[in-house]
Amino acid sequence: MRRERLGFGFALAVLSLWCSMEVAVEAAWSLQTPVKLVWHYYKVHNTCDNAEAYIRHQVESFYKYDKTIAPKLLRLLYADCFVNGCDASVLLDGPNSEKTAPQNRGLAGFAFIDKIKTVLEARCPGVVSCADILNLATRDAVHLAGAPSYPVYTGRRDGMTSTKDSVDLPSPSISWEASLAYFRSRGLDVLDMTTLLGAHSMGRTHCSFIVDRLYNFNDTGKPDPSMKASLLEEMRKLCPPKTKKGQPNPLIFLNPASGSKYSFINSYYSRVLTNEAVLGVDQQLLYNEDTKQITEEFAAGFEDFRRSFALSMSRMGNINVLTGLFVTKGQDKELL
């Protein structure tokens, strides 16, 4: 797999994680330019030298008792970065905030980020942004679940506005064409998309996100023909058709092989190849030549998946970041 070189600095940081892959897919192997973030920002600027260590300690403490924080934070970071960029606006409260958007139903991990923020405020008041906390905590949590500990550049500034109308996260039943167009609109490529969808190797989703595949695929009144018969039977037992308002909306595992262990594994890609993906967008990876080749390679080699995940997560964390100065009442103010 071939990643197009976009820069040297970040490549050095991930060199120990990256290796040559066989599939010839054009893709970037560095952060999107210009890179506005800084390696160990709070240490470099001497504002909170141990910020990353404080965050890591909190993550490790929580993870001992609740392994669900890994998939929860992954989804929370995705919901933040893909909307207004990685600015923590998804964390803001309000009657019409991003939290209230239908696409964010079931979003979790807010209390955990609040806890870390409280700890950091006691040690370094007014310094560490929630956007950086979310990116660093996600990295540390998924590492504990089995993912690589990838570099996270820091120095993000938090956004101050959050509206549900700005949430344009797509349905998990879209085609690969629509999914790729969406990822490309965020500066990511086909390898990033195929890699980041691998986050579905762990965690759960609500039946409401797959019920169309089970009973009325593309308004045909029939199930998705791409679903393996045994998976369809299993999912229908867990997710009955919606027949009345207020009906329960159960949670189901995205990857039964990971299940309640919430472990980061590559069996997600094996399930795609055998038509056993739970979400429609995941099964769509079979229907494009590039995504199918990448899926086959990741299914065969866990380390290839881990290395690509390290870089794609860093690239996602670089989407439309806010940094530096903003102007208020005619004066420059710096938000860290």
Q: Can you say which residues are annotated as belonging to the binding site for heme b?
A: 200
Q: How far is CA 4 from the centre of its chain?
A: 22
Distance CA(63)–CA(68), nearest Å, equals 8
List binding-site positions for substrate.
Answer: 170
Has 156 been annotated as catalytic?
no
Helices (H), the chain: 9-14, 41-44, 51-63, 69-84, 110-123, 130-144, 176-184, 190-196, 211-215, 229-238, 267-273, 280-283, 289-300, 302-316
List binding-site positions for Ca(2+).
Answer: 80, 83, 85, 87, 89, 98
Distance CA(14)–CA(74), nearest Å, equals 20
Strands 204-206 and 251-253 come out as antiparallel
| Burial status of residue 57 (CB atoms within 10 A of its CB: 0-12, 13-18, 19 or more) | middle
Q: What is the 3-state secondary structure (H, E, C) of 248-272?
A: CCCEEECCCCCHHHCCCCCHHHHHH
Instruction: Please pick, among 75, 157, 186, 306, the residue that the annotation labels catalytic.
Output: 75
Contact 196, 312 (CB under 8 A): yes
List binding-site positions.
Answer: 80, 83, 85, 87, 89, 98, 170, 200
Give SS3 for 159.
Answer: coil
Give SS3 for 334.
Answer: strand
Cβ neighbours around 129 below 10 Å, total: 28
Which residues are catalytic, by number? 75
